[in-house]
A and B are shown apart, each in its own frame.
Chain A
Amino acid sequence: GAGVSQSPRYKVAKRGQDVALRCDPISGHVSLFWYQQALGQGPEFLTYFQNEAQLDKSGLPSDRFFAERPEGSVSTLKIQRTQQEDSAVYLCASSLVAGGPSDTQYFGPGTRLTVL
Chain B
Amino acid sequence: SQKIEQNSEALNIQEGKTATLTCNYTNYSPAYLQWYRQDPGRGPVFLLLIRENEKEKRKERLKVTFDTTLKQSLFHITASQPADSATYLCARRPNSGYALNFGKGTSLLVTP
Contacts and interface: CB of A to CB of B under 8 A. Distances in A.
B43 A109 contact: yes
Contacts of A104: 34, 46, 49
B18 interface: no
A33 to B, nearest CB: 6
A41 interface: yes
Nearest to A110: B43
SS class, residues of chain B in contact with chain A? loop
Contacts of A44: 102
Interface residues of B, number: 25
Contact size range, A: 20 to 34
Interface string B62-101: 0000000000000000000000000001010100011111
Contacts of B91: 42
11 contacts: A33-B98, A33-B99, A35-B99, A42-B102, A43-B44, A43-B100, A58-B97, A105-B46, A108-B43, A109-B41, A110-B41
